[in-house]
Amino acid sequence: MAQATAGLANHGTLIFAREQWAGKGQRGRTWTSMPGENIVLSAVLEPVALLSSQAFALSACVALACHDLFSHYAGAAATRIKWPNDLYWGDRKAGGILIENNFRGRRWALAIAGMGININQTVFPESARNPISLRQITGESFDVIGLARELGDCLDRRYRELEVGNGAGARVGWASGADAEGMGPQGEPSLIEQYNDRLYKRNESVRLKKDNAVFETTVTGVSPQGQLLTRDVLEREFSFGEVEWIR
């Protein structure tokens, strides 16, 4: 962020960290990674053509890029996106995303997309929550720098898809000419539909915690604005930070 705000890094710049000692996660959690063993990547994005209300569209775009990379090697059947932006393989966490934004007045000047994906690490701290790496899944060791470059290509493709869907199409499904069903002009799924197709625990019962209450509900999807949609005796929607997953 410091380099980007100083004009030393522009849109599309990727910064790879071989070692990280102050990694941040969601809800104030930390992100730990053994030096040189995982993807710890920051992407500089300049979403000047997007509205601030499209923040979740950008988040989903980055999450889909991470899913594209990981599922290519770990298999699409078990690779899922856990709302709002964790990467899961089965019921174990393979990666996380944190996006920090910089606004100048009403202009969305910068977004730094931080992506952490477990690649070669096999030993994790006891405090880590159900982690898994690509090496543990496949039994193979990977070129982390090479995979980071592949992730950059995935992000570039997904960001172009988001840009094509900007404007009226973005408001109804993030696909150019998308209709109310969330399909693109050639019948291709929009980004929100693709995100929901890969959603962790979709159409399954989960336990969530809101304030001090724990309850069971069924995940039905995520709205274009980024709310988690569930159904039990009522149809509900929750904003990020409003509920917490209970294992």
Q: Is 202-246 CATH 1.10.3470?
A: no
Coil vs helix vs strand at 220: strand
Nearest to 199 by CA among 180, 171, 179, 227: 227
Name the amino acid, one letter, at 211: D
Nearest to 22 by CA among 114, 117, 118, 159: 114
Is 202-246 the same fold as 2-172? no
pLDDT at residue 31 in the model: 64
Residues 154 and 68: their CA atoms lie apart, in Å, by 7
How many CB atoms lie under 10 A from the CB of residue 219? 20
pLDDT at residue 10 in the model: 94
pLDDT at residue 23 in the model: 61
Which pairs with CB-CB distance under 8 Å and at least 24 residues apart come from 186-191? 190/165, 191/57, 191/60, 191/61, 191/64, 191/158, 191/161, 191/162, 191/165
Assess contact for 183 and 172: CB atoms under 8 A. no
pLDDT at residue 166 in the model: 65
Helix (H), strand (E) at residue 151: helix 144-164
Residue 100 CB partners (closer than 8 Å, separation 6+) = 1, 111, 112, 114
How many CB atoms lie under 10 A from the CB of residue 141? 12
Per residue of the chain (247 residues), give pLDDT as tens.
999 999 999 999 999 999 877 666 555 566 677 889 999 999 999 998 888 889 999 999 999 999 999 999 999 999 999 999 899 999 999 999 999 999 888 889 999 999 999 999 999 988 888 999 999 999 999 999 999 999 999 999 999 999 887 643 333 233 333 333 344 444 568 999 999 999 999 999 999 999 999 999 999 999 999 999 999 999 999 999 999 998 7
| Residue range 2-172, CATH number | 3.30.930.10
Q: Which two tokens stand for residue 138?
A: 């496949």
Task: Indicate the domain borders of the chain.
Answer: 2-172, 202-246
pLDDT at residue 178 in the model: 37
Residue 242 CB partners (closer than 8 Å, separation 6+) = 210
pTM of the model: 0.88
Q: Which two tokens stand for residue 185?
A: 């002009």
pLDDT at residue 24 in the model: 61
Assess contact for 113 and 102: CB atoms under 8 A. no
